[in-house]
Amino acid sequence: MHPLVLMFRRNNDPYTTSSSGPGKYQLEAASGSFFPDMIDFVAGLFGGAAGVVVGHPFDTVKVHMQTDDPKNPKYRGTFHCLRVILRRDGIRGIYRGISSPMAGIGLVNAIVFGVYGNVQKYSNDPNSLMTHFYAGSIAGICQSFVCSPMELAKTRLQLSKQIDSGIKFSGPVHCLRHIFKTEGIRGTFKGLVATILRDIPGFAGYFVSYEYMMRLQTNPGVPYVLLAGGFAGIASWIACYPLDVVKTHMQADALGKEAKYTGFIDCAVKGYKNEGIQYFFRGLNSTLIRAFPMNAACFFVVGWVLDFWHANSGMKSMKHSEKSLTLMNLDNKAQADLDIVAPTVEEAVRKLITENSFPYQSGSPPQDVVHNRFPSNTINIPKESKNCMANDCNIK
């Protein structure tokens, strides 16, 4: 994704063709350069890592609850389960299996944010929620190929006390290698279909709900961004939870003759027959309790990294851009307007954008300026332009 980099300059700037007098401004958008792509990856990496640290203890609880014996349950609820594991296995028990999501999360997040952003950006109608819906779905499919084996290893490590494979795994790679050796490539990708089925609604719900919530506020502060990220995580899990239960059972199942289930449907049907509709919701509480802080942390850190980067590289990405686009002509804005509307340049520009329709020329898809996907309420204005506008209009 390429958050819009706005640049404004006076019309007598050599880059622009029209030549009206000084004191009149044009807004231009820099299309993304190579750098925003890389920074998205880094942002996803940090956001993902933050989310894993915050969320993993709850993930362990989730997997234990999902695979608990329904006839004779060991755990009375999320926090009971957390306490039992903590008492029995300590902090290590609760963080068991974290290396796998940690290691895989960079790749998964790069795929998720990369695919999502690009599909969204290059679609015909980048700002519609429908676009966010299918961009999220496609991202969900793409990341499944990495996510599925990763979660397979995670599930087996988390349940290592319950699933007796005769070996003590030293980590996810060891675990996956063992699976590959004994069960082949099919074994390594056990649960792939279930993962895809889960993550299409999962990531569609994730991004649509985040986007939707960010649009409700023009100028979201930190608490709001955390809230939006947290609720996006919750919405996403509600959209796909029953599929996640089936996925976990498939991945916890053995292969070959020992296997209890022949496939996704079989697993779902057997679970339902055994236990009724409840089967599909066991562990939902702990999942939602985990999803909130985890995704609040994830979206917040992603946004923070992107903001930090863009605040420090506005001019650079402008220079790297080969396209010069006149997005908005502010010729008709009187200087006096700017004085009144807002105390800072950013707010003045924001105001101008929200109050005007936002025409654009071909070459770059229209981008959401005000309601960025990420907390970016930063409108990135290069220092020189900013000083210039501040001086001219008497604002900060």
Ligand X SMILES: NC(=[NH2+])NCCC[C@H](N)C(=O)O
Q: Does 202 bind ligand X (CB under 6 A)?
A: yes
How far is it, in rounded angstroms, from Cα 208 to Cα 91?
Answer: 35
Q: Does 206 bind ligand X (CB under 6 A)?
A: yes
Q: Residues 50-89 vs ligand X: string with x where CB under 6 A?
A: -x--------------------------------------
Q: Least distance in Å: CB of 348 to ligand X?
A: 37
Q: Does 240 bind ligand X (CB under 6 A)?
A: yes
| DSSP assignment string, 38-97 | HHHHHHHHHHHHHHHHHHHHHHHHHHHHHTS-SSS-S-SSHHHHHHHHHHHHHHHHHTTT
Residue placing its CB nearer to ligand X in the complex, 135 or 327: 135
Q: Does 43 bind ligand X (CB under 6 A)?
A: no
- The amino acid that residue 332 corresponds to is N
Scanning 68-76, 197-205, 252-260, 370-378 for contacts with ligand X by CB under 6 A, the matching segment is: 197-205
Residue placing its CB nearer to ligand X in the complex, 84 or 141: 141
Residue placing its CB nearer to ligand X in the complex, 101 or 314: 101
Please count the other Cβ atoms lying within 10 Å of the Cβ belonging to residue 144: 26
Which residue has the CB atom at the shortest distance from ligand X? 202
Residue placing its CB nearer to ligand X in the complex, 233 or 314: 233
Pick the binder of ligand X from 40, 199, 307, 346 (CB under 6 A).
199
How far is it, in rounded angstroms, from Cα 349 to Cα 298?
Answer: 29
Q: Least distance in Å: CB of 303 to ligand X?
A: 15
187 close to 180: Cβ distance less than 8 angstroms: yes
Q: Does 295 bind ligand X (CB under 6 A)?
A: yes
- The amino acid that residue 180 corresponds to is F
In 3D space, the residue among 117, 9, 55 whose CA is nearest the CA of residue 298 turns out to be 55
Scanning 114-122, 202-210, 212-220, 317-325 for contacts with ligand X by CB under 6 A, the matching segment is: 202-210
- Cβ-Cβ contacts under 8 Å for 92 (sequence gap 6 or more): none
SS3 358: coil
208's tokens: 């649509």
- Please compute Rg for the chain using Cα positions: 25
210 close to 240: Cβ distance less than 8 angstroms: no
Q: Does 301 bind ligand X (CB under 6 A)?
A: no
Q: Residue with structure tokens 């234990």?
A: 64
Q: Does 236 bind ligand X (CB under 6 A)?
A: yes
Q: Is the dihedral of CA 309, 313, 317, 318 positive or negative?
A: positive
Residue placing its CB nearer to ligand X in the complex, 103 or 390: 103
Q: Does 231 bind ligand X (CB under 6 A)?
A: no
Scanning 229-237, 246-254, 260-268, 333-341 for contacts with ligand X by CB under 6 A, the matching segment is: 229-237
Scanning 25-33, 86-94, 126-134, 231-239 for contacts with ligand X by CB under 6 A, the matching segment is: 231-239
| Positions in the binding site for ligand X (CB under 6 A) | 51, 198-199, 202-203, 206, 233, 236-237, 240, 291, 294-295
